[in-house]
Each structure stands twice: as structure tokens, then as C-alpha cells.
Structure 1
Amino acid sequence: AMEKLKVLFAVVLSLGTAAAASLGVVQTEGGGVQGQNIRLGLFRSVDVFKGIPFAAKPGTFEKPKPHPGWDGILKATKFAQRCLQISMLQTSSFGSEDCLYLNIWVPHGQNVSSNLPVMIWLYGGGFIVGGSMGPNFLTNYLYSGQEIADKGNVIVVSVGYRVGTLGFLSTGDSRLPGNYGLWDQHAAIAWVNRNIRSFGGDPDNITIFGESAGGASVSFQTLSPHNKGLFKRAISQSGVAFCPWALNRNPRKVAEEVAETVGCPTDDRMEACLKSTDAVALVMATPIIVPGSPDYPGVNNLSLSPVVDGDFLPDQPGNLFHNAAEMDYLAGVNNMDGHLFTSKDIPSLGDKNQDTIVEDVKRLLAAYTKETGQAGLEIAFAEYSSNWGSTPTQTTIKTTAVDIGTDYLFLVPIQTAIFQHAANAKSGRTYSYLLSEPSLLAGPGKPYHDWVGADHADDLQYVFGKPFTTPKAYGDRQRDLSGYIIAYWTNFARTGNPNKGNLKVPVTWPEFTITGQKFLDINAKMNESSIGQEMRQRFVHLWTSTLPSLPSHAQ
């Protein structure tokens, strides 16, 4: 009997080791790489590769170049530094110029995976800041791909790209054309397309996804002719090419400001001088946004962003949608995406003990409609206050201000991009969503008013499965929502249809078409009534049709 037990024990032990499927050393075009295998359950594990270079250290204001490769085996176990950038308080800089690296999460069951869908994450940060791992608390990184990979059985890749002056400074001509950060993203996508098969990924089924400036980046990548055949689907969260902050129409002005700050001439010697200026000095010369200054509203001064360069973007975004005709596109907005920004522009808005006066709302609206002058302001204000009655409450006044910010900065441009995609699509499908889950910071005893819905960046924790990774910080409601979003997103990556794939979804999400214009209202309590139509049509019409048809007062 003892012998039998020993044999049984040996069998159980070997099962335990057999369960840990792992890739071991993977051959890439640059050389061999070895990651770490993390056990998640009896028959589940994930291989994590951190800090694989996808391009060489980039030259200042130059496109990325191929990496020369390495001898031996690269131990891919540490995240690379983020790209050199200004600190949040804009008093110092951190990061490295050598920052074109990516991270890969590969899930395995009993056997090593093959032919998995691939999802490439592009982070947000206003094109000024950000990193492939996102903010972290100790070792808990916001953009860890582990939960998405494990639950959705997809490979997740996160990539670094240059931001701020080094990523997006442009003279508006061929001398310093700009868009260096977009070229970095493109180089990473191309690297994944060429190498991901060795990691068990399907190069013919790549989805790119991102939020805020990352969502706008995704949008630019779909519109650029340089990505033909490199990826199949795209997801934009709270950002597209049409967002007023996403495209710089006068880059020369910023280039000259930076040149003056670092002591370069602004004549034809400017380019050579800027190129030979110390990178830290260039980063520290980022034009600063002073909240509550006359440069109000702040978001209008996100001045280091992509430009129409005649190369990566051969034309205005609105004329490039034919390049996305074969791609599936899923995009959406948080119902209070503007809250974060509007409460900086109108400080009384976020303060529970302070009233917001109607004049403040008008001032915000005037800043957003300044091209059409007084006439535009009056038409827009009449539209936004049409349901106020004679004595609007504080809640009414404050939510209207948030709506104005949300519409102008996010919702209207995003709806425009979704409509354009659907109008130009051939085989590509289109899906639209509104995230309406109330903010976790809202309510009694919390910093936000109880009416605050999904604020800017609220979607990130759910997409990356934080309610599962840090269960104590969330309730069942948030876990449900996170499960729904991971299901829709990974199903979409797998099949191009958010309803079809490995995971069950709570409500069938209808396609967005030009005739129906349906969208899904995503929150923790979803049912048949979660499907809407013609999202905020009145206000989309106001911003895209009524206001632009007024005579312009722009200087």
C-alpha cells in the first residue's frame, strides 16, 4: 500500500509540474528573450516579458530605427524606464531617452498557447506624460495586462512611445515634421506583427487599444496609410483624432516658444540648434499649463500633440477614413469625461460647499465657442440651458457645465469619428458605447458630488481588471462591470464582434450603423434597456453643424 501511495504521489507531483506550461526562451528578430512564468491556478499560468526593445534608442527629433539586436539571452524581467518627460508638477523631469521597449503577457492553459489574438495597449497622458505600465502603487501597475490575458485568453502587449517635446515638437514643415511618438507606436505595432508568432500570437489578428491621448493615438494609427495590413481592429476609449486637444493646428508657435526657452534662434538655424540641445532642457521647456489662468480652458493648451505632417498623416484626419475601411472599430466615451477638466477650469464646480454661478458656465462656453463670437455663445447657451426653467438648482448648473466640457472635449468628436468610420467602412464593423458607471469618488463622505458619473480615466481600472487584482478596494458591483468590459473587449479582439468569443456578455451589443446609430450604455446593472440610439444628437448637431455654419471670428 505504501508503494501505491508513493506512485500516486509521484503522479500528482508530475501533474503539478506539467500544469505549468511556459514558453521558456523565445527567439525574436533581435535575439533570444526569457520572461517570468506566473502560476495563476492549477492549469493556468501567464508568461510575462518586460522590457523587450522594439527599436534602437531614438535620436532627438528623429524617427525610430531598428534595434541592432543582442548576443545571448535577454532577461526580460524588468520594466524599462518611461520615456523622458516632465513631472506632474512640472518642476523636474524623469525617465530616459532610451525608452522604446514593450511588455508582453501570454496566457497558457495546460499546453503552451498558439495563434492567440493580440491586443496592443497605447497609454494616455495628453501626449505630454505617460508610460507603458501606467501609475503604480508599489508593484501593482495600472496597465498590467495579466487580468485581460488570463480572463480573455489573449496576448496583451504594452508599448512605450516618446511624449512631450521629444515626441511631438514640430516646426510645421519638413525640418522638424513632428509625430515622433506616433512613429514609435507604429514601429512597435510593426515589431509585434513580425515577432508575435514566436510568443503564440496570431499576427493576422492584432487589435490596438488605448485611452485618452492613447485613444486618439489609436485613431491616428487607423488613419495612417503606413499601417496597411499590420493590424485588424482598434478600440478608442475617450479620445479620437477629432478631439480639439488631439491635433495641433499651429505647431510652429510652440516650437518657437520652446526654442526661446532653451536659448535657440527662431530663424532658419532653429532646427539645428534644437537638435543639438540637451534632451532634459528640451523636456523642461514644455509650455506649462497654469490652471485658472487667462489661458482658460486648460485643455486647449495641450499644445504638444500630433500634426498633419504630410507623411504619417498625409491629410486632415477627416479625409483619411478610407484607410480604416477594412478595420473593425469600437469606440466610446465616459458620460462625464469632461468632469476632471471642467472642475479645474471652474474650481467651484467640484467643491461641495461652493456655488457655481451661471456666469462661470457662460465663460467656459465662450472659450469653447470663441471662433463664432457672441452669436455662437448665445445659440449654444440657449441649447444647454433649455431645460433649466426660471430657477435652476446648483446640481443643474454644475451638471450642465460638466456636459459642456464632456461634449466639446470628448463626446461630440468621438461620435463624429464613429460616424465617419461607419460611413467609410467596407468590411469593417463599428461599435459605440457610453460608460455611465457612477464614480467611486462620488457620494456622501467622498470628495465628489453624488451626481458625478464616469469621470475621465474611470474606465481604466475596469478594462485592466483591478477589481479582481485588488478585491478589497472594490465591491461585487465593480467586479461585475470589469468582467463585462473584459468580455466585450476580448471578444471583439478575437472575432471583431464584442458579443462573440470565449466570454458571455450581459447584453447583445448592436452594431453602429449610419441609419440606426445604436450604442451600448455600459454599467454594472445592464439589461435590455442598456441600448440607446443617436447619442446626444441635439448637441452633436449643435457642435458639428449649427456652430460651424456661423461666420467665424477667428483671428
Structure 2
Amino acid sequence: MLVLVVLFGVWLNSASAAKLGVVQTEGGQVEGKSHRMGLFRTVDVFKGIPFADVPGKWEKPKPHPGWSGILKAIKYRDRCLQVTLLQTKTQGSEDCLYLNIFVPQGRKLSSNLPVMVYLFGGAFLLGASNDVAILGDSLYDGKEMAERGNVIIVTVNYRVGTLGFLSSGDARLPGNYGLWDQHAAISWVRRNIEAFGGNPDNITIFGQSAGAASVSFQMLSPYSKGLFRRAISQCGVALSPWALQNNPMALTKKVARRVGCWRTNIDLMITCLKMSDPVGLTMAGKIDVLVSLLSPGVVMDLLEFSPVVDGDFIPDEPSKLFHNAAQFDYLAGVNSMDGHFFAGVDEHHGWTFTYTSHWGSAPEQAVVKKTVADIETDFLFLVPTQIALQLHANNSSGAHTYSYLFNMKTRIPGFPHWVEAEHAEDLQYVFGKPFATPLVYFPRHRDLSGYMIAYWTNFAKTGDPSKGDSRVPVPWPAFTKYHHPYLTINHKITKSSVSYDLRSDYVTYWTKTYSSLPTIKREEEEE
């Protein structure tokens, strides 16, 4: 019996999954760690590989000088300098331009795999490539998605807040530094991923919320031509009203005031800002959440830091740049309750008749609350996404377009029965958390996670979420110039999950009726 056990152990060892070991990159050699995922299946994980040098303050990222010896890539690096969630202090470092790579392995070394590069969300103010640990693992841990979808997952850091997106609106402080970081990371992946078993000609970028809008901006930038092949936006696009700063100088003056750099001469003010302490600058970029919640306002006042039209990376208004995205396959959608979280922030008046016409004389409180959540979802997420899909389909040169609505019931305890998918609730399923931490999920959550990983990774492989190695419950038809199907995603996907013309009456309302109403312009903060 002992001999059999020994022989079995020897066989198991010799037949175990392949390992990459030391990998040669442009900067030097790196070595990760192999994680067993099942019999003959592992995922090689490389954490904290630098894709650029420590960035200068409000400068574009520069190439990394490289290193000697073998870089042990086994630990996540610091997030980029940012305020904490409660905004009482800062965390992170200026030395933050690192990425993480997850490579699935079978008995033979993987080669020519599709590559998926993830851009995190966080209002362009917070976040990291290894954000929000759930029971020990990062929310964006790519092992499950890589292994189940047989793709390479890459997660990247980029600058956020004051250091990532402050802008004077002209050449003195052009802005978009966080977008340049993302571009540098995607470019590094294209140049180096072959050594990890990836196909540099089949890169998909995907992201959620501010990361989804970032994906959209990357598609629209002329600098991305030929850099990647496909893109997925989950709950955010460049056309979202919170995704673009329209008056960056007002925000720059506010930050300058907070750090003692206010000058009537703009050049002197910017010189002072450039000499200021990065931690102080980061704290100066915090949001006045309490003030905004207690006074009438809109959510755009909360999301102050975002990209700008700089005449360079973003050369024009995003709606005019979709010709640049014509070659990319595009999949985009929203969560059914994306706006619920923001419903307490905004105050709407009078113009909501389109939404209240079904109320009757004495609507229930739940109906009123859900209607407000719907208004926010449409305005901030759903309508801009539908317009982006339409513009992509209109400009497409042979590339595919796909639309979805994610409406799985919320898992947040204590919420009323009518609440479906909150903002960011899609991420746990895309990243396979119901498989990684099975004790806190039910079988229906694993079903949903399996479906989403299959659709997402099939899309990365072929440009069609229905075609690839992974079986899917139903075919997902493409969104075209004249036909607008969308897939409703939850744990029960059937043929009836495919519908047409998502909330088209409300899309028409926002794009035609509301946009033609006279607006009251708020006075921009100046002095």
C-alpha cells in the first residue's frame, strides 16, 4: 500500500500542471508564484510588475529603467496616492505604476492566450488593482476568471484624484494623467505578454464605473489605434455626465485655495501647486460629501475629478470621437439599480412626469423610491451607455457591438425587496467570487458567475460572447445600427432573456425632450 501511495505521489508530481518559472520582460526577469486550482490546473500569479517609472507630478508616465537580478513578483504594490474611503487621511504612494498578471496553466505551458486587462473603478478618486479584500483575496483577484475562461487576466494601477486628473484646461496642466497611465500599462502588456503565454494581437480591456468610462476613453483616443482589439464597459462610458470635467480651472482654483496656493496670476498659482506636498494636494482633492448630501445638488458635484478634453489624448468631445473606436469590438451594459446609491444625492424637480405618469393619486412609498432610483440609473448610466452603443454601431467597420442589462437581486442585507443589482454588484460574479469563497454564496450565484465568465471570456477570444470554448445558456445577438437587442443577465438566462430596445422611451426622453429644455447654469466657482 505504501509503495502505491509513493508511486501515485511520483506520478502526480510528474503529471502536475506546467509552471512559467522565471519570465524575461523588457525591464528584467520576473518570477511569480504558482497556485493550484484543481487536478493538473494551476494559475501562475505575478504581482507588482512595474510598467513605468515613478511618475513625476502631473507628468506623463515614463519607461521603467529596469532592474538587475530576478524580481520576485509575489506581493501587491502600493496603490496610487489617494484619500481613504472616509477621507480622513491618505493612503498609497507616488511609486505606484505596477500591474499584476494571472496566467492559467494545464499540463503544457499555455501559449497564444487571449488577454484581458482590467481598469478599476472608484470615481477617478479611489481604487487600486488589488482593491477591496473579500475573505483574504482581492475583489479583482484574477485566478478564477483566468482558470475558468482560459484567458490571461491583467489588473493595473493608475493615478487618481488630484495627482491623476487635476487640470487647468490648457497646456500648463493638461490633465488626464491617469488615462496616460492606463495607456502605458496596456502598451506594456502588448509588448511583453507573449513571454507570459499571451497573444499580443488579442487584448481586451474591461472596467467598471470610472474604469468603464476609462475603457471608453481609451477606445476613443487616437493613441489606441492597433493597441488592443476589444473592450467591455460595465456601468459607465465616456458620455456619462460624471465622466468629463467641463470646467477644470474651477476645481484647480479650489485645490489651490485649500493648499495655500491661490494667486490671481494663474502661472504663479500652478508653480506653487507643483511645489506643494503630494499628500496635502491629495487631501485637498477630497469630496465635501456631507455638504453635498445636506444641500440640494447633483452627483456630478461629488465626482469632481475626471478626464478632460485636452486636445491630445482626448482631442474632442467624446461623442465626436467614435470613428476612432470603429475597429474595436465593444460590449457594454449597466446594472438595473446603478443609480440607487446616488438617489439620495440628487434632487429633481418638475420635469419627471415621464416617470411619474403611472403613479396614480396615492403611490406607495416603494414605487416612489424605485422611480427615483430609475431616474438616476437612466441619467447617470443607462442612457449614456445606450447612446455610446448606438454611436459605436453607427461607426463600426466590421466590429461587433453588444448590449446587456444586469439585474440580479442585490446581496446587500437589509435592502427592500424591490432592489435589484446595485452599482458594482456585477464584479463579484465576473471575478468568480462564488467559486473562490463558496460558503457565502448559493448555487444560483455560481450559475450566474459561470455564465458571466463564459460570455466575457468568449467575447475576449472571438469578439462574440456566444462563441468560444465556454458554453453559454443562450446566444447573445449583436446590437446593430437598426436592431437593438440586449441580454438580461441574472441566474436564470433563457431565450426570453433576449429583448429589444432597452428602455427606449426613456432614452428618447433624455436625448430629445430633456436635452432641449432650458437649463439653469450654475455659477462656476471663481474667486
Question: Is the TM value for this pair above 0.5?
Answer: yes
Aligned partners of 2:286 and 2:13: how far apart in 1? 57
C-alpha displacement at 1:16, in angstroms?
Answer: 2.2
Tell me, yes or no, if the aligned pair for 2:161 and 2:305 is still in contact at 8 Å. Answer: yes
Q: Deviations over 1:102-128 (max 9, x none)?
A: 000000111010000000000000000
Aligned partners of 1:201 and 1:12: how far apart in 2? 31
Seen in structure 2, the aligned counterparts of structure 1 residues 281 and 8 have a Cα distance that, compared at 3 Å, is closer
C-alpha displacement at 1:90, in angstroms?
Answer: 1.1
Within the candidate set 29, 35, 51, 1:54 is matched to: 51
Q: What is the number of residues matched between the two proteins?
A: 518
Amino acid at match of 1:240: V
C-alpha displacement at 1:538, in angstroms?
Answer: 1.0
Aligned partners of 2:370 and 2:243: how far apart in 1? 25
Residue 414 of structure 1 aligns to a residue whose secondary structure is: helix
For 1:91, the equivalent position in structure 2 comes to 88
For 2:328, the equivalent position in structure 1 comes to 327
Are 1:130 and 2:127 counterparts? yes
For 1:276, the equivalent position in structure 2 comes to 275
Are 1:234 and 2:231 counterparts? yes
Tell me, yes or no, if the aligned pair for 1:106 and 1:149 is still in contact at 8 Å. Answer: yes
Seen in structure 2, the aligned counterparts of structure 1 residues 418 and 12 have a Cα distance that, compared at 3 Å, is same
TM-score (norm 2): 0.96
Aligned partners of 2:196 and 2:13: how far apart in 1? 23
Question: Percent identical across equivalent pairs?
Answer: 58
For 2:208, the equivalent position in structure 1 comes to 211
For 2:490, the equivalent position in structure 1 comes to 523
C-alpha displacement at 1:391, in angstroms?
Answer: 1.5
Q: Deviations over 1:461-492 (max 9, x none)?
A: 00000000110100001110000000000000
Tell me, yes or no, if the aligned pair for 2:289 and 2:302 is still in contact at 8 Å. Answer: no
C-alpha displacement at 1:20, in angstroms?
Answer: 2.8
Within the candidate set 465, 469, 474, 2:436 is matched to: 469
For 1:184, the equivalent position in structure 2 comes to 181
Q: Deviations over 1:57-100 (max 9, x none)?
A: 00110000000000000000000010000011111001000000
Residue 249 of structure 2 aligns to a residue whose secondary structure is: helix
Seen in structure 2, the aligned counterparts of structure 1 residues 521 and 137 have a Cα distance that, compared at 3 Å, is closer
Amino acid at match of 2:409: P
Structure 1, gaps ≥5 residues long? 346-362, 367-376
For 1:536, the equivalent position in structure 2 comes to 503
For 1:553, the equivalent position in structure 2 comes to 520
C-alpha displacement at 1:550, in angstroms?
Answer: 2.7
C-alpha displacement at 1:295, in angstroms?
Answer: 5.2
Are 1:339 and 2:337 counterparts? no
For 2:525, the equivalent position in structure 1 comes to none
Residue 294 of structure 2 aligns to a residue whose secondary structure is: coil
C-alpha displacement at 1:265, in angstroms?
Answer: 3.1
Are 1:154 and 2:155 counterparts? no
C-alpha displacement at 1:296, in angstroms?
Answer: 2.1
Q: Deviations over 1:424-469 (max 9, x none)?
A: 101210000000111012xxxx410110000100101000000001
Tell me, yes or no, if the aligned pair for 2:87 and 2:286 is still in contact at 8 Å. Answer: no
Amino acid at match of 1:91: T
Residue 347 of structure 2 aligns to a residue whose secondary structure is: helix
Aligned partners of 2:206 and 2:301: how far apart in 1? 24
Amino acid at match of 1:382: F
Aligned partners of 2:495 and 2:134: how far apart in 1? 38
For 1:373, the equivalent position in structure 2 comes to none
Q: Deviations over 1:259-304 (max 9, x none)?
A: 1111113322122111111100100101423242325234433111
Seen in structure 2, the aligned counterparts of structure 1 residues 460 and 7 have a Cα distance that, compared at 3 Å, is closer
Runs (4+) of structure 1 moved beyond 6 Å?
none
Are 1:365 and 2:348 counterparts? yes
Within the candidate set 18, 21, 26, 2:18 is matched to: 21
For 2:392, the equivalent position in structure 1 comes to 421
Aligned partners of 1:294 and 1:113: how far apart in 2? 56
Aligned partners of 1:33 and 1:499: how far apart in 2? 36
Amino acid at match of 1:436: N
C-alpha displacement at 1:15, in angstroms?
Answer: 4.0
Aligned partners of 1:140 and 1:200: how far apart in 2? 24
RMSD, aligned CA: 1.5
Residue 348 of structure 2 aligns to a residue whose secondary structure is: helix
Structure 2, gaps ≥5 residues long? 523-527
C-alpha displacement at 1:307, in angstroms?
Answer: 0.3
Amino acid at match of 1:16: N
